[in-house]
Amino acid sequence: MGLLKILFIITLLSISIGEVLRFELIIGTSINLSNIAVGALVIYWLALHLFKKRKINTGKLLKPIAIFVGIGIISLVFNLKFLNTQELVISFLYLFRWILYAFIYFIVLEFDKNFQKKIIYLLLFIGGIIVIGGYIQYFFYPSLKNLYYLGWDEHLYRMFSSFLDPNFAGAFFCLYFFLIVGMMRDLIKKNEVYMIILFGFLGLLTFIAIFLTYSRSAILMLVVGCVIFLILKKKLYIMAVLALLAVSLVLFAPKAFKTEGTDLFRKVSSEARISSAKQAVTIFSKNPVFGIGFNSYKFVRVRYGFTGKDDPSHAEGGTDISLLFVMVTTGVIGLISYVYLLSKVILIAYKKYKKNFIAGVLLISIMSFIINSFFINSLFYSFFMLWIWILVGLTESA
């Protein structure tokens, strides 16, 4: 096995560490182990192409990726006069990180078919670690109160696993659940009984874990994903059964420790999201064409008086709605380019979903993920970008 594949496996394993290992890079920004692993992987991959003069497989998404990156750079150039040197560097690092994760797509395209099949099992293994880790955390570490000073919310009696946030954990569990369902359909066709039982049990654990996050955005993502799956497979009668099961889990989920976070009808977080969206719209209205610069959102919020300069919260760097985040940081032009990129990804998956199960997983994942991103900024969460870009690369290679 070559060094590139070893680095790729290390990068995948870094997902299971989540936000547990997080380091401050410079004042105002930080990186996690996944960022470091992806950076090392991409640098080595580029070095291989440079020194061995290999031709890069650009796939079908080079153009939309390049357009979005170009507009991201232009948005920063247009706002140079509003940012000091440190703010400009930090803002560009966010764009640079997005570029690094996009490279994962090109790397996966170049792997041989045999290793690409192994990647699917690696994703299943890593997801299993995160789910099991979530149960350990739920029973033995039910609160993040001791990390509040670092910018984390308390999340009392909710499953947040290694992501230290139940909403992001819930979204990941959904992505993992869709992968398990797709894998099981493939195993059923091959009649692999023991593997079906194993993944069936893991799927059940994951399904329950989604509800133990008490994340409404994750539950909605699950419902949307299941509906899309059943429509594609023309199994509409199963929708009623799943709906009944979902309602039952909502009603009978553990409530021995009733808190604001475990109340699915809570209002505080909803009001906070509405307030965040209003702030983003206000800023966008002043910068509609190329936005405020990707991603200078935190600094602009300080300038507008929406937050303090030293606010430690991890939510200060973006708004809860991903597409609104794109619109406010890169303007209408950037939003159009990003929607164009998403539409190309969906088209790649749609054309192949009947022939390859991983394409179906991608189609369900990305469409339900877009719905989820209207509640949390999940489309730009590093672990999710890594997961989705891998699925895109595998789908296009199928």
* Mean pLDDT score, 335-355: 95
- The predicted pLDDT at position 39 comes to 95
Q: How far apart are CA 150 and CA 168, in angstroms?
A: 18
Tell me the pTM. Answer: 0.90
- The predicted pLDDT at position 299 comes to 86
* Mean pLDDT score, 340-364: 94
Q: Is the pLDDT of residue 78 over 80?
A: yes
pLDDT digits (tens, 9 = 90+) for 152-197: 666 677 899 989 889 999 999 999 999 999 898 888 888 888 888 9
Among residues 75, 85, 101, 93, the alpha carbon closest in space to that of 326 is found at 75
Q: How far apart are CA 199 and CA 46, in angstroms?
A: 36
- The predicted pLDDT at position 154 comes to 65
Q: Is the pLDDT of residue 9 over 90?
A: yes
Percent of the chain with pLDDT over 90: 50
Q: Is the pLDDT of residue 121 over 50?
A: yes
Q: How far apart are CA 335 and CA 373, in angstroms?
A: 14
pLDDT digits (tens, 9 = 90+) for 229-273: 888 776 655 555 665 666 666 556 555 455 555 555 566 666 777
* Mean pLDDT score, 140-147: 77
Q: How far apart are CA 386 and CA 238, in angstroms?
A: 32
Structural contact between residues 382 and 34, judged by C-beta atoms closer than 8 angstroms: yes
Q: Is the pLDDT of residue 17 over 70?
A: yes
Q: How far apart are CA 162 and CA 383, in angstroms?
A: 11
- Partnered with residue 171 across adjacent β-strands are none
Of the listed ranges 66-70, 124-128, 138-142, 382-386, the one predicted with least confidence:
138-142
- The predicted pLDDT at position 232 comes to 79
Looking up tokens 């006069």 gives: 81
The two three-digit tokens of residue 357, written as one number: 């199960």
- The predicted pLDDT at position 250 comes to 58
Q: How far apart are CA 382 and CA 388, in angstroms?
A: 10
CA distances from 99 to 14, 64, 73, 105 (A): 18, 12, 11, 11
The two three-digit tokens of residue 179, written as one number: 């992968």
- The predicted pLDDT at position 259 comes to 56
SS3 track for the chain: CCHHHHHHHHHHHHHHHCCCCEEEEECCEEEEHHHHHHHHHHHHHHHHHHHHCCCCCCCCCHHHHHHHHHHHHHHHHHCHHHCCHHHHHHHHHHHHHHHHHHHHHHHHHHCCHHHHHHHHHHHHHHHHHHHHHHHHHHHHCCCCHHHHHHCCCCCCCCCCHHHCCHHHHHHHHHHHHHHHHHHHHHHHHHCCHHHHHHHHHHHHHHHHHHHHCCCHHHHHHHHHHHHHHHHHCCCHHHHHHHHHHHHHHHHHCCCCCCCCCCCCCCCHHHHHHHHHHHHHHHHHHHCCCCCCCCCCHHHHHHHCCCCCCCCCCHHHHCCCCHHHHHHHHHHHHHHHHHHHHHHHHHHHHHHHCCCCHHHHHHHHHHHHHHHHCCCCCHHHCHHHHHHHHHHHHHHHHC
pLDDT digits (tens, 9 = 90+) for 57-75: 889 999 999 999 999 999 9
CA distances from 84 to 9, 80, 90, 294 (A): 38, 8, 10, 14
